[in-house]
Amino acid sequence: MKRVAIFTFIMSGFLISASAEIDVLKTGKQLARPCTWCHDTKRELIAPSFKEIADRYRDIPDARKILFNSIKEGSKGRWKKWFEKGMYMPPQKPYYSDKQIDMIVEWILSLK
């Protein structure tokens, strides 16, 4: 009986943790809705797709920090193809809190 109680307690922790992660990803996706003027999830519009961004930064150790700063402060010249067209990422700090940007970054990096 004690083992069942311990197992149930441990499993409930996993479920809560998995549920929290899903909520962060769901919220991140919702927060990124205005970004779809320039970015689509899978195809290029006037900027790289979110999937292309995720693929590019997936294995970079500082990916979260780089993407966070690119969203918050804006960026220019990171994507040569788009830079040559005169496109750049405008700063989003007036529109999003740091916590919201973190959720957007988590969602982007979760794309496969």
Per the annotation, binding residues are: 35, 39, 89
Contact 24, 103 (CB under 8 A): yes
- Annotated binding-site ranges for heme c: 35, 39, 89
DSSP notation for 61-104: TTHHHHHHHHHHH-BSSSSHHHHTTT--B---TTT--HHHHHHH
Residue 75 has φ and ψ, to the nearest 5°, of: -155, 160
